[in-house]
Structure 1
Amino acid sequence: MYTLTVTTPSHQYPIFIDTDLIQHPAKTFASFVGKKVVIISNDTIAPLYLSCWQNFFKQFNCEVSNIILPDGEKYKNGQTLNLIYDGLMQNRADRQTTLIALGGGVIGDMAGFAAATYQRGVPFIQIPTTLLSQVDSSVGGKTAINHPLGKNMIGAFYQPQAVLIDLNTLSTLPQREFSAGMAEVIKYALLGDIEYLSWLEKNIEHLMVLDQATLAYAVHHCCRMKADIVSIDEKENGIRALLNLGHTFAHAIEAEMGYGNWLHGEAVAVGMVLACHLSEIIGYLTPDDTERVVNLLKKAKLPTTPPMMPFDAWLNHMSHDKKIHDGKLRFVILEKLGQAKLIDNISSDMLKETLAPFLVC
C-alpha cells in the first residue's frame, strides 16, 4: 500500500493507494470515521461497491446510511445537491456525521461541497472509483457544482479527512472513462515532469491494459505531484493554477456541447493540444513537441481535435472561466514540455489563430 500525506494550512490528511484497500484492517482508518456515516454514490457505482463499503464502515460500530444520486455530469447542479441535503436532514446528520464520496469526480465534487456547506461543515472521505478522480479531483479539496453559464462556478475549497484509492475499481470502468482519466495523468507530465512524460510513453500500453503495478506507480506519482502543489498553494493563488493546463479550452467545449456529451478528460485532452498550439504561436513549443503530445494522447484513445464551434462561443464560455483575474483571461501554456507557465496577455488574434482550423461562422 502506498501512503501519501497532503499538508495544507487548513488541514493535513492521508492518501491510501492499493489494489484491494478494503481488505486492510479497519483500525488503519478508524480515526477518520465518525459514529454516523452517510455514503453518497450514484446509481451506476452503488450496485457495484455500495454493499461492501457499507459492511466495511459497520466495523466501526457506526450507523451507516446512503444517498444514491443519478449518474452523469448533467446532474452536477443545485437541484441534485439539494437531494444530498434532503437525505442528510432525513437521516438526522449532525456535525459529527462523516460523509463518504463513493464514485467519480461528479460525486466527489458534490459530496465535498455538501460537506463544506451542511451545518457549515462536516467531515468527509473521498473514495474515488474512476482514474480521473483518483489522480486528480479527489485530492486537493476542490468541491463544486456547475452553473449553466460555467463549469464548477459554485463551490468551496474543503479538504477531506482521507482519500482511499482502491485500484480494483478501475477493472469495472468503461474504456472511454479510463481514457478520460489518462488525460489527467498525461497532464501532470506535461506541466511539470519531463521524465514522467518519457516514462508514460514507454509504459502507455501497460497502462491501457490495466497492469496493476504500472497503474499503482502512475496513480501514486500523480497524487504525489498534486499533494506537493496543493501543500504549497491550497487555494490556487499561484502554482496550483498550472493544474488547469488545457482546462480553459476544455470547459468551453463542455459548456458548448452540453455537460456530459464530452467527458471532462476528453475535453482536457483536446484542450492540452490547443494549449500546445498556442504555445507554438507564442514561440515556445515546436510542431514536433505538439506532435509528441498528440501521439501520446492517441495511444491513450483520446480525441485530439475540438468540435467545430463559432469563435464567439469560445469567447463567451471563456469569459465565465474561473481563471479570469483582474478582468484578464489567463491561460496555462508550455514554455517547453514538462514546464508550464501562466500568462494573461493572450490577444484575441492569437486565440483566433490557435482555433482557426476548428471555427465555424
Structure 2
Amino acid sequence: MSSLHKILDVELGNKSYPIYIGSKLLSNKSYLENHISGKQVMIITNSTIAPLYLDKVKKLLEKFIVEVTILPDGEKYKTLETTKTIFDALLEAQFDRSATLIALGGGVIGDITGFAAASYQRGINFIQIPTTLLSQVDSSVGGKTGVNHELGKNMIGAFHQPEAVIIDVDTLETLNDREFSAGMAEVIKYGFLGNIGFLAMLEKNIDAIMSRDKNLIIEAVYQSCEDKAKVVAEDEFEKGKRALLNLGHTFGHGIENVLGYGTYLHGEAISIGMYMAAKLSELEGHLKLEDVERVKNILIKAKLPTSIDGKVTSEELIKAMSIDKKAIDGNIRLVLLQNLGDSYLSDDYSSDNFYQVISIFSK
C-alpha cells in the first residue's frame, strides 16, 4: 500500500470496523460496496457538500437503490427537528432494517446521520465519509452520535458505531482555511493529550501542513485516528479514559453555548478551551510557563484563536459549563495536563484557580 493509502482498524469485537485514509478513495467503489449489506442506501449530506461530492458518491452506488436527503448546512441545524426530516424520508421511501445510511459531510452531518441510524427501527447500519479535517480526525471515529439542545451541546444522542469510515483527504481541497484551522485544533489535541512525539512532529511541520502538504496531512490524520481508535477500543462508552479526549471541550462547549452555536466553529472554541485548560494546569502547579507558551504558539501557528472575541461573563460561562454532559453530580469535570503529553480527568482542582482562569477569559 502506498503512502497515500492507509488502513486502520478500530478494535471493538463484533463492532470493529476499518478506517480508510488516503487520496482518490472516492474513485474506488469497493471501499463502499464492501460495507453495504442490503440494497437500500440513503446518502445524507448538506447544501454545501452536495454540489461538490454527491454525484461522485452516487456513481459508486450504481448497484443499489439510492435515495438522497440534503440538509441545510450549519451547527444550528444539528437538532431533533432536522433529524426528523431524515426519518420522514426513510419512512416515505419504505426503507427497512437492512438499509444503510451514508454520512457525506462534516461533523454535523456525521453526528445527525449516526443518530438517525441508531434510532431508525432501533438501529441500522451507517458509513462515514467525512469531508472536513475536524470530522476526519474526531467525530467520524468512535460512534458518538447526537444532536444539540438549546440548553446544551450533544445532550441527546447514542453510541452507534459505523460500518466503516472512508477518509479521502482530497475533499480537504475544497475546505476553506478557517475550517481547515478548526480541524487542526483536534489534531493538535492528540499531541497535548498523550503523544508528545506527535506534537513535536506537528510543531516541526506546521507551516507545511497549513499549506496543505498532502502526505503530511495523511500522516497527521492517520496518527490522530490511531490515537483515538486506541482510546475508543479501551473505553467505547466513555466511562473512563475516553473522557480524556475532551481536553478543552468543557470550556469550549461553554463558549459555544453562551455565544450561540456557529459564532465560533467547534474547533475554534476547542482551541480557546485547550489554552484555558493549559492555564489552569499551570495554576495547579503542573505545567511550566514555557509549556503554556508552547500550547499557545502552535495554536496561533495553526491560525486558531486563544482568547474569546465577544462578550461572555464569568457567570454565563460557568452556568453553561455546569450543564455539560461531562459534569457529574453538578461538579464540572475537566481534562487537565500533568505535563504536555500527559493528561488527567479531575473535579478536584482549586476553585480559586478555576475562577481565576474564567475571569481572565471572560469580559
The TM-score, its normalising length taken from structure 2, stands at 0.96
Cα separation, 1, equivalents of 2:262 and 2:331: 28
Counterpart in the other structure of 2:74: 72
Counterpart in the other structure of 2:106: 104
User: How does 1:229-240 map onto structure 2 within 5 Å?
Assistant: 229-240=231-242
Structure 1 counterpart of 2:326, one-letter code: K
Shift in Å, 1:208: 0.6
Range moving further from structure 2, 322-331 or 123-132: 322-331
Decide whether the 8 Å contact of 1:131 with 1:181 is kept in 2.
yes
User: How does 1:206-285 map onto structure 2 within 5 Å?
Assistant: 206-285=208-287
Shift in Å, 1:78: 1.0
Moved over 6 A (4+): none
Decide whether the 8 Å contact of 2:25 with 2:31 is kept in 1.
no
Cα separation, 2, equivalents of 1:52 and 1:83: 23
Structure 1 counterpart of 2:128, one-letter code: Q
Identity, % of aligned positions: 54
Structure 2 counterpart of 1:56, one-letter code: L
Gaps of 5+ in 1: none
Structure 2 counterpart of 1:352, one-letter code: Y
Decide whether the 8 Å contact of 1:40 with 1:99 is kept in 2.
yes
Decide whether the 8 Å contact of 2:42 with 2:68 is kept in 1.
yes
Check 1:5–1:38 CA distance in 2 against 1; reply closer, same or farther (3 A cut): same
Cα separation, 2, equivalents of 1:358 and 1:131: 27
Alignment deviations for residues 238-287 of structure 1 (CA, whole Å, 9 cap, x no partner): 11000000000000000011101110000000000000000011100011
Mapped pair 1:312 → 2:279: no
Decide whether the 8 Å contact of 2:8 with 2:18 is kept in 1.
yes
User: How does 1:60-139 map onto structure 2 within 5 Å?
Assistant: 61-139=63-141
The TM-score, its normalising length taken from structure 1, stands at 0.97
Structure 1 counterpart of 2:23, one-letter code: T
Shift in Å, 1:359: 2.8
Alignment RMSD = 1.1
Cα separation, 1, equivalents of 2:43 and 2:170: 19
Counterpart in the other structure of 2:342: 339
Shift in Å, 1:309: 1.5
Cα separation, 1, equivalents of 2:290 and 2:358: 19
Structure 2 counterpart of 1:16, one-letter code: Y
Cα separation, 2, equivalents of 1:263 and 1:277: 22
Counterpart in the other structure of 2:43: 39
Cα separation, 1, equivalents of 2:105 and 2:259: 24
Shift in Å, 1:9: 4.8
Decide whether the 8 Å contact of 2:33 with 2:61 is kept in 1.
no
Shift in Å, 1:358: 2.7
Decide whether the 8 Å contact of 2:107 with 2:135 is kept in 1.
yes
Alignment deviations for residues 63-109 of structure 1 (CA, whole Å, 9 cap, x no partner): 11100000000000111111111111111111111000000000000
